[in-house]
Amino acid sequence: MLTDKANETQKTIMILGASILQLPAIEKAVEMGLKVVALDMNPEAVGFNVPSVIKEVISTIDIPAAVEAAKRHHIDGVMTLATDMPMRTVAAVAKECGIVGVSEDTAVKATDKSVMREALKAVGVPVPKFFRVTNKEEFKAAVDQIEGPFMVKPADSSGSRGILKVEERENLDSTYEYTKHFSHNGVVVVEECMTGPEVSVETLAIDGEVHVIQITDKITTGAPHFVEMGHTQPTRLDCAEEIRKVAVAANKAIGIENGPSHTEIIVTEDGPKIVELGARLGGDCITTHLVPLSTGVNMVEACIKIALGEKPSITPTMYCGSAIRYFHQHAGVVKSIEGLTEAEGMPGVKQISIVHGVGEKITEITDSGSRMGFVIAQGVDAEDAAYNSETAMASIHVEVL
C-alpha cells in the first residue's frame, strides 16, 4: 500500500533534450524521486540510458508531438537545460498543460536576437546599435550605418554558430550568406562591435522576483567566432552591482517570472550592455558545476523545483572560486593525450573531461561543439580557481597531427 500511495503522489517532469547537456537535469530529477520523461530525436541520446527514465524519441522543437506526449504522461513540470532551441516548446507545453513555464511571448523574445534587442531597447535596457535584416540589400544598408568593425549574427541560432566579427567591408555577400545559413528563420542581426570584458549573469526568477545567483567572467577565442574558452566565478570586475542591475532589468523586459536565465553582458566604456539572454540555465558547465562549487547553490535542482511549482532554497552556503578552461587545439587527428592522471590529482581539480579523444579528428575551434575537452577546478577565490585550472591544463600534453 505504501508503494501505491508513493506512486500516486510521485510528480512527473518532462525534460526537453537527453544529450550530455541535459544529463545533469535528468540525473538530478531521478535522484529527487521524480518520474522523468525525456524527449530527444536521437534514440541513442545518453540521457535515455539513465535508469527509470521514460524515453520519447521526439524532436525538442516538434511542438505538437511534445504537447501530445506531455498530456499523455500527465506531467507536472517541463524544462530544458543549457540550450535555447527547445524554449518555445517549453512555453507551448506549459500553456497547454497549465503548468509553470515561460510564456510564448517570452520564449520568442529569448530565442530571437532581433526581437530580444527590440524588447530590451524599448524599455531602456542598454544594448548595442543593431539592425534586423532579411536580405542582402538590407544587410549592406545596415553595414553602411555602422562605423568600424561590426558583428553579424543569425537571429535564432546558438552555440556561437554563424557569428562573425567583420573588420573590412569586403566580401559582404559571402559574409551575409555564411551567417544566414545558420539562421532558421532567415533573419540576420547586424550590430556594432562592443569591446570590453565579457561576463554572464546566472539568475533564478521566483514569483516575478529575479535573484542573481552568480556572475561569471568569460574568456573567448575573440574574432572571428568568439567561442568561449573559459569561465571563472565570481567576477573580478569592480562593477558587479551595475552588472546585476542590467541583468535584472533585462529579465524583466523579456518577461521571465519563474525560472532561470543566462544573461551575457559586455562591460563597455559606456557601461554594461546586453549581448543576449537565454531563458534557461547556462551551458559550458557554468550552472551545473561552477555555481555549486562557488556558492553551494544547486541551480539544476532549483530549476526542477520551480518547474514543479515549488519554492527552492537559493541562499549561498559557501563563497569560493570556481573555473573551467577548455583545451586549445588545431585541426588534425588526436594522436596522444598524456598527463591526465597527474592533472586530476592536482590541487582544486574537480573534473577533467575529454570530449574528442585519441584517434578522433578535430577541427579548429569554430563553435562550442568543436572543443576537445576541459578542466574544472575550485579555489578559495576566483584567482585561486583560475590558477588551479590553468596549472592542471598546462600539465596535460596533447599531440595532434
For 17-44, write each residue's pLDDT tens digit: 999 889 999 999 999 999 999 999 999 9
H-helix or E-strand spanning residue 392: helix 382-394
Backbone φ, ψ for residue 80 (5° rounding): -135, 175
Q: Which of 178-187, 374-383, 389-398 comes out lowest in average pLDDT?
A: 178-187
Q: 12: Cβ–Cβ under 8 A, 6 or more apart, which residues?
A: 34, 35, 36, 37, 73, 74, 75, 76, 77
Kindly list the distances between the CA atom of residue 51 and the CA atoms of 17, 27, 32, 37, 378, in Å, as whole numbers in the listed order.
16, 9, 13, 12, 30
1 pLDDT more than 70: no
Instruction: Please report the pLDDT score of residue 159 as a whole number.
Output: 65
- The answer on pLDDT for 79 being more than 80 is yes
| Average pLDDT estimate for 178-193 | 93
Q: Is the pLDDT of residue 6 over 50?
A: no
Handedness of CA 377, 381, 386, 388 (dihedral sign): negative
Mean pLDDT on 49-78: 98
Q: How far is CA 386 from CA 3, 7, 319, 377, in A?
A: 48, 46, 15, 7
User: How far is Cα 274 from Cα 201, in angstroms, rounded to an integer?
Assistant: 11
Task: Please state which CATH class domain 198-319 belongs to.
Answer: alpha beta
Q: Is the pLDDT of residue 158 over 80?
A: no
Give the 3-state secondary structure of 143-208. HHCCCCCEEEEECCCCCCCCCEEECCCCCHHHHHHHHHCCCCCCCEEEEECCCCCEEEEEEEEECC
Lookup: cell for 222: 575573440
The average confidence (pLDDT) of the chain is 94
Domain 2-99 is in which class?
Answer: alpha beta
* DSSP strand pairing (150-154 vs 198-206): unpaired
C-alpha triplet 325, 371, 386: angle, nearest 5°:
5
Q: Cα 93–37–313 angle (5° rounding)? A: 80
Q: Give the pLDDT confidence of 344-378 residue by residue, as tens digits.
A: 999 999 999 999 999 999 999 988 889 999 999 99
Cβ-Cβ contacts under 8 Å for 350 (sequence gap 6 or more): 289, 293, 376, 377, 378
Task: For the chain, give every residue range classified as CATH 3.40.50.20.
Answer: 2-99
Predicted confidence (pLDDT) at residue 2 exceeds the cutoff of 50: no
User: What is the arithmetic mean of pLDDT over 151-180?
Assistant: 88
pLDDT digits (tens, 9 = 90+) for 93-146: 999 999 999 999 999 999 999 999 999 999 999 999 999 999 999 999 999 999
Full-model pTM: 0.90
Residue 401 has pLDDT above 80, yes or no: yes
* CB-CB neighbours of 275 under 10 Å: 21
Percentage, residues of the chain above pLDDT 70: 98
Q: Contact at 8 Å (CB) between 27 and 9?
A: no
Residues of the chain with CATH 3.30.470.20: 198-319
Q: What is the DSSP letter of 53?
A: P
Quote the pLDDT of residue 202. Answer: 97
* Strand-strand pairing, 150-154 and 188-192: antiparallel
C-alpha cell at 219: 574568456
Superfamily of domain 129-192: ATP-grasp fold, A domain (3.30.1490.20)
Which residues touch 50 (CB under 8 Å, ≥6 apart)? 23, 26, 27, 30, 36, 38
Crossing angle (nearest 10°) for helices 104-111 and 113-122: 110
- Other Cβ atoms within 10 Å of 361 Cβ, number: 10
CA 85 to chain centre: 11
Rounded Cα gap, residues 65 and 71, in angstroms = 10
